[in-house]
Chains A and B, each alone.
Chain A
Amino acid sequence: MGDLEAALAPVSADGIEAILERDWHVAALRYFAVHGDLIEALAKCGLGLPALGQAVEARGPGGAHFLLAARSPTETWVMTRDGAAFGALAAQLAPCVDGCLVDQSGGLWPVRVRGARIEELLTRIGSTAALVAAGAAHVTRIAELTVMVAAPGDGAERLLLVDRVYAPHLFGWIRATVADL
């Protein structure tokens, strides 16, 4: 095994760039139904659940920028760079009984991929299921791993959300593939 930090170094080549975003705060919102106290509390924070298969950007506590990506009918991943806003959100949702926020920060890592050759990369390390339209998100297989692909905003970039322990493997595939693009 090679050096872990070297394995996670950014990948940059003509038409493609992949960067690990270590400082993002990530949580799983888990709920039994989309009409419970958790969803109400979420709304009070300025956030709403995206439809299944969608990723939405929104302003949360303190006007902080949040990204929410639906993972399943009972799970949405919520992400922000703003630690204070994340903490405020967690505190707001803590008393809820119809669902909960499970902190996954540091355990789920977003990898930001951008550049003109995104599709060439994704169809080589994954399948056509890795191609998501702007505003969409779903879980698929990339580099033999379970990865959520989200295309927030205008879809100019993709976020690959991967379990931290597998991030070196994902970067290994990206690095090897980009070298041959």
Chain B
Amino acid sequence: MSAHRLPAPWGTRLDRAARVPFSFDGRDFEGFAGDTLASALLANGVRLTGRSFKYHRPRGVFAAGVEETSTLVDVGEGAYRSPNENAATLELVPGLTASSVNRWPSLRFDFGAINARLAAVLPAGFYYKTFKWPDWHWYEPSIRRMAGLGRVANASDPDRYEEIAVEVDVLVVGAGLAGLCAARAAAEAGARVRVLAAGPQPGGALAYRDPQRARELAASAERAGARIATRTLAFGVYDHGLVCAREKLVEQDGAQRPRLRERLWKIRARAVIAATGAFERPMVFPDNDRPGVMLAGAVEEYARAFGVACGRRVVVAANCDSAYDTARSLREAGMEVVAVVDRRREAERGRDPGPGTRVIAGAGLSAVFGRNGVSGCSVRQDAAPTGRAERLDCDLIASAGGFAPAVHLHSHAGGRLRWLDAEAMFVPDGPAGVVVSVGACAGVFDATAAAEHAELAGRALARGERLPPWPAPGIGRSLAHTALSGARGKQFVDLQNDVDLGDVALAARENYRSVEHLKRYTTTGMGTDQGKTSNVNALVALGEFSGREPAAVGTTTFRPPFVPVTLGTFVGRRTGALYRPLKRLPAEAWHVERGALFEQFGNWWRPAAYPQPGEDLHAAAQREAAAVRRGAGLMDGSPLGKLDVFGPDAAAFLDLMYVGTVSTLKAGQARYGVVLNEHGVVMDDGIVARLADNRFWVNTTSAGVERTAAAFEEWLQCEYPQLRLCITPVTSHYGNVTVAGPRAWAWLASIGFDAALAPKAMRHMTLREATWEGTPLKVMRASFCGELSYEINLPVDRTRALLDRLWARAAEFEAVPYGIEALEILRTEKGYLHVGTDTDGTTLPGDIGMARGVERKAANFVGRRSLLRPAALDPNRFVLVALDSADGRTLLPVGAQIAPEPPPTRTQGHVTSSYFSPTLGRPVALAMLERGGSRVGERIKVHHLGRVIEAVVTRAPFVDPEGRRIDGEE
């Protein structure tokens, strides 16, 4: 094992007194508090930590931050399993159980590695070309199984998640040198400042390079008033200064108990300072993915922060001056730096390599030796592609290809980028909306310049002043193209997706010239990488193969989230009963006591039926519907939508809202009406009753009251603001008990209802205001079942009292409670439509038998003009009809298509409602049918899942076509 622990003071993050046991792939290990899983694995000499996505090539720890893509692990067990966690950011906690992904049966012996041998026939986009014959779906399951790396838990997540909202003046994302300087300056200028630190402590790279200064800087920022949140990573910038961040509250420690795991921060900021640093760019050389090839900055961070020497003999593959700083650090840590192999010519180097450092300038790595771990490399001069290569023995290759500023937040905010040719990097081209970049993510790498720029920016943003000028990068020269000409073997530009130079060359040959097309074709920059380490190398290569400069190639658009975020974080509290707001009936307990089977109807949690012992939903609904036709039934109609419309122009306004005319109603009269949208499409229906000259009682459907009220308000406020009226939803103020059936009145009379409400005294489609035992009532005679029916509206807190009183006398009238299912049967028997069930987003009033109403109304109404369009006048429109099954026995399935031939064919309509009628002893159905009105008596074919059912077009109502039952028994 070449990697090993270094003695203190190496390992600034570690608490060596606290040993932390953990397991990886079933083997037990030990680390220290402060370790990440990656650092602990390295310290224990574990080099092989993963398998690549496509070729299943062996991979080891590559990076030390969010850019790590080679060591993704599944953490936890059972329901607590969390897939594809980044080992480089996963804090080590006692009991942590991790396993490698994308391998079978084991990490060391992986059958999938056969793919590497088949690489020649698996180039970029091979699956687009290969798996087309005879049908992609033959291959899809296998390919899907191979994709996705880790495995999700097979049970719902027991952990809890929450969200929190805050408002600040200045939000600083990143708590490194630049971020803390900006935060301190902004806070000192009087701004409310919050700083987000992704890791467990503020400081960024400064925290391990100069821990004392990092602590002092953080303390001074806090003294100035800035609030620093740790373990909180901003993953997206959205409109209007909204930044979303994920705070990790606990790591999975193997304990099987639910905890508050993560918190979503929704931060509204007047100004956002991005101080997110930069990613080191990997060098491109053959087999640059072997375990033991690591980013140079990561090698230094593991040494300084975690006290881990990632190897004993290191070759630094360089393309930038920082490589020499890294080499110096590694020597200080006791590692042997075999050589710095610099792709640049000697004259392009801006650093003194220091004494004792062997530099091989103008050269690159032409081969890497070792399969599951680096054992050496060969080095060759760029100018001599056929020349003899020199072999260097080493167990670690530190890859220092330059830097790519982390411009993601800048891009989320819509910012533009510009290419710096000398430094070979994209940097923000000025601020992006509320986002201002400072430090390395702005391309400013000189520490002094970065700190000064950040302070000036923080102060300016706090005071609303002009921003300071952008300083020079101060990082020296890097080459854009780092690959060695003539080198052979796989030279990866994207380790996570196994995209190599050959894939990019293929894409260029196939004319995928846009970098966005390159991304989709080769998958480079996808997955958790999202271009962090792959983007620049891929686009430089595309430019090379298509004869363009990197600036001309451009870069892909970075979109949120910056890092993977658990679905739980987005979901927050919205699980289980809190998933969706459901409306609860005021007298819910009454129904529960009577054995109601509750279901969700239009956001209401209400009884579908009241099954008796031995009954299922269907049987209960049949019994209840029959009982209503025979005697009486009661239904809790409280969900019925109710609007109070008041004002001198209320009648005129409602005339505009309904197809029918409302203004001719006298006080106490009621009328059915249909509401259209501006396209003439039926959006709701209901009954309007006049209470007084200037006041109306408007019933809507239960599910449609919000949209109807909103539509009324919109028309009133936007189109008819001159009208004086108010629309007030009152659904929840009133309970509603609907009593229906031939004996409905007798039942109501038995509990003391006023004789003025009797059918002889009160006509159908009227409303009376009355009192019952001191309770004010609004009683409507209207029927959705065809029987005598009273809709009794009363103060909501009296609903239960009325239900109890009625129930006490129910037996005398063979009365039952009935649910929505029975109501659906009853209304279908009568041919009454249910908006949303029998209608859809294309249904016009003429399609549901209201053509005459439209023609008769001379005045304007919403949607009228749209009814004159040619499509609305098409004689072939679907029209609501009634259907009988031809054999009188078969229930027509709802949704079944109507056509002369089996599908696929042009449909002539579909079944919308279908029930077995307990009154008739046979099925009845409604359907939308092309030219339906002229096809009564025609035999049609109904197709459902391969079955053909013959049916006959008929007329509704099926029951009581003369309407004799509407006044009940006399």
Contact = CB atoms under 8 A, between A and B. Distances in A.
A170 B162 CA distance: 15
Contact of A30 (B162, B581, B646, B732): B646
Contacts of A99: 726
A160 B609 CA distance: 34
Interface stretch (B69-77, B126-134, B571-579, B911-919): B571-579
B647 interface: yes
Interface stretch (A45-53, A105-113, A149-157): A105-113
Contacts of B957: none
Interface stretch (A12-20, A59-67, A121-129): A121-129
Given A5-B589, A30-B728, A143 B166 contact: no
Interface in B571-604: 573-574, 577-578, 580-586, 588-589, 598, 604
B216 to A, nearest CB: 31
A58 interface: no
Contact of A107 (B165, B167, B695, B731): B731
Contacts of B266: 127
Contacts of A4: 584, 588-589
A126 B577 contact: no
Given A128-B167, A173-B578, A165 B733 contact: no
B795 A105 contact: yes
Contact of A104 (B577, B581, B724, B733): B733
B165 A123 contact: yes
Contacts of A168: 584
B166 A32 contact: no
Contacts of B731: 107, 165
B268 interface: yes
Interface string A90-133: 00000001011011111110000000000000011111101000
Contact of A106 (B160, B260, B582, B797): B797
B726 A30 contact: yes
Interface string A1-36: 111110100000000000000000000101110000
B163 interface: yes
A166 B581 contact: yes
B796 interface: yes
A97 B268 contact: no
Contact of B578 (A28, A31, A128, A176): A176
B581 A32 contact: no
A100 B646 contact: yes
Contacts of B730: 102-104, 107
Contacts of A126: 165
A100 B605 contact: no
**Residue among B163, B573, B582 with most chain A CB within 10 A:** B573
A100 B573 contact: no
A75 B709 CA distance: 15
A177 B583 CA distance: 21
Contact of B260 (A2, A103, A166, A180): A180
**Residue among B160, B577, B734 with most chain A CB within 10 A:** B577
Contacts of A28: 728
Contacts of A106: 586, 732-733, 795-797
Interface in A136-181: 143-145, 163-169, 172-173, 176-177, 180
Given A128-B167, A172-B577, A176-B573, A164 B586 contact: yes
A97 B694 CA distance: 8
Contacts of B644: 102
Given A99-B726, A100-B726, A173-B573, A164 B732 contact: yes
Contacts of B577: 1-2, 169, 172
Contacts of B582: 1, 169
A132 to B, nearest CB: 13
B648 interface: yes
Contacts of B585: 165
Nearest to B648: A97
A177 B163 CA distance: 10
Interface size class of A (residues with CB under 8 A): 35 or more
B945 interface: no
B956 to A, nearest CB: 33
A106 B734 CA distance: 8
A172 B580 CA distance: 11
A32 B724 contact: yes
A71 B819 CA distance: 36
Contacts of B796: 106-107, 164
Contacts of B732: 104, 106-108, 163-165
Contacts of B797: 106
A168 B797 CA distance: 16
A140 to B, nearest CB: 11
Contacts of B795: 105-106
A145 B581 CA distance: 7
A41 B268 CA distance: 43
A142 B915 CA distance: 41
Given A105-B795, A176-B573, A180-B260, A124 B584 contact: no
B17 interface: no
A172 B162 contact: no
B164 interface: yes
B162 A124 contact: yes
A176 B577 CA distance: 11
A32 B647 CA distance: 9
A102 B728 contact: yes
B733 A107 contact: yes
A113 B644 CA distance: 30
A167 B724 CA distance: 32
Interface string B631-651: 000000000000010111000
B574 to A, nearest CB: 7
Nearest to B585: A165
Contacts of B165: 123-124, 126-128, 130
Contacts of A30: 646, 726, 728
A134 to B, nearest CB: 18
B733 A105 contact: yes
B578 A32 contact: no
Contact of B581 (A5, A7, A105, A169): A169
Given A169-B582, A172-B577, A180-B160, A103 B647 contact: no
A177 B733 contact: no
A135 to B, nearest CB: 20
Contacts of B724: 32
A166 B583 contact: yes
B716 to A, nearest CB: 10
Contacts of A2: 577
Contacts of A102: 644, 646, 726, 728, 730, 733
B795 to A, nearest CB: 6
Contact of B573 (A5, A123, A177): A177
Contacts of B734: 107
Contacts of B733: 102-108
A2 B577 CA distance: 9
**Residue among A5, A107, A128, A166 with most chain B CB within 10 A:** A107
A144 B164 contact: no
A173 B574 CA distance: 9
Nearest to B644: A102
B272 to A, nearest CB: 16
A165 B648 contact: no
Contacts of A165: 583-586, 604, 731-732
Nearest to A175: B578
Given A107-B796, A180-B160, 7 more contacts: A5-B589, A105-B733, A107-B730, A143-B573, A163-B732, A164-B586, A167-B584
25 contacts: A1-B577, A3-B589, A4-B584, A4-B589, A74-B726, A99-B726, A100-B726, A102-B646, A103-B733, A104-B733, A106-B586, A106-B796, A107-B730, A107-B734, A124-B164, A126-B165, A127-B165, A143-B581, A145-B581, A164-B732, A165-B604, A166-B581, A168-B584, A169-B582, A180-B160
Q: Nearest 10 A-B pairs (CB), nearest first?
A: A107-B733, A107-B732, A30-B726, A165-B583, A127-B165, A106-B796, A169-B581, A102-B728, A128-B167, A164-B732
